[in-house]
Amino acid sequence: MTTFYLTVRFLHVLAGAMWVGFAVFSAFFLMPAIQEAGPDGGKVMAALERRGVVALIPIIVTVTILSGLWLYWRYTGGFSPEISRSHAGMAFGTGGALAILAAIIGIGVVSRSLAKASALMKQAMTLPEAQRASVLAPVPGLRQRAMMGARIVAVLVIITIGLMSVGLLL
C-alpha cells in the first residue's frame, strides 16, 4: 500500500466520520434545540455561520465523496463490472450511491431551506415591526423542511457507514 492510498483512505474515513457525526447531531439535537429556542435560535445559527460551519460542511462532504470515488475506482480496478458485482463491491457501491444522494438532499433541501430562512430573517430585521410578521411567515415551514431533510441525510449516512464497515468483511 502506498502512502498516497493510505492518506486518501485516512481522509475518507476521517471526513466520513465527521459527516456522520455532524449529520446525526444536527438533525436530532441541534436543529430541534434551535427551533425550540424560537427567535433566539437565529442567534445560534448566526454564531455557527461566523465560526465557519456553513463553509466546513460542504468541504467535509466533498472530501468524503471524492476520496470514496477514488477508493472505489481503485478497489474495482477502474469500475470493473466483475468486481463491482461482488458482495463487497455492491456494499461499497450502494454506500457510495447513498452518500451521493445524501449530499444532493443536503444541498438541495437542507442548505437551500436554511439559506432562505436566514435571508428572510435578515430582511425582516430591516423592516418596521408591522411588516416583519408577513416576511417571517414562511420561516417555520422552511426550518421544518430543513430538519426533515437533515434527518433523511442522517439516516442515509448511517446506512452508508454500515455498508462500508460490512463491505470490508465481505
The 10s digit of each residue's pLDDT in 66-119 is 999 999 999 999 988 888 889 999 999 999 999 999 999 999 999 999 999 989
Tell me how long the chain is: 170
Q: How far apart are CA 106 and CA 100, in angstroms?
A: 10
Q: Say which range, 24-33, 39-48, 86-95, has the weakest mean pLDDT.
A: 39-48
The 10s digit of each residue's pLDDT in 122-167 is 898 899 988 988 999 999 999 999 999 999 999 999 999 999 999 9
Q: For the chain, what percentages of helix, strand and coil (3-state, to nearest 5) are there?
A: 85, 0, 15
The domain ranges of the chain are 3-167
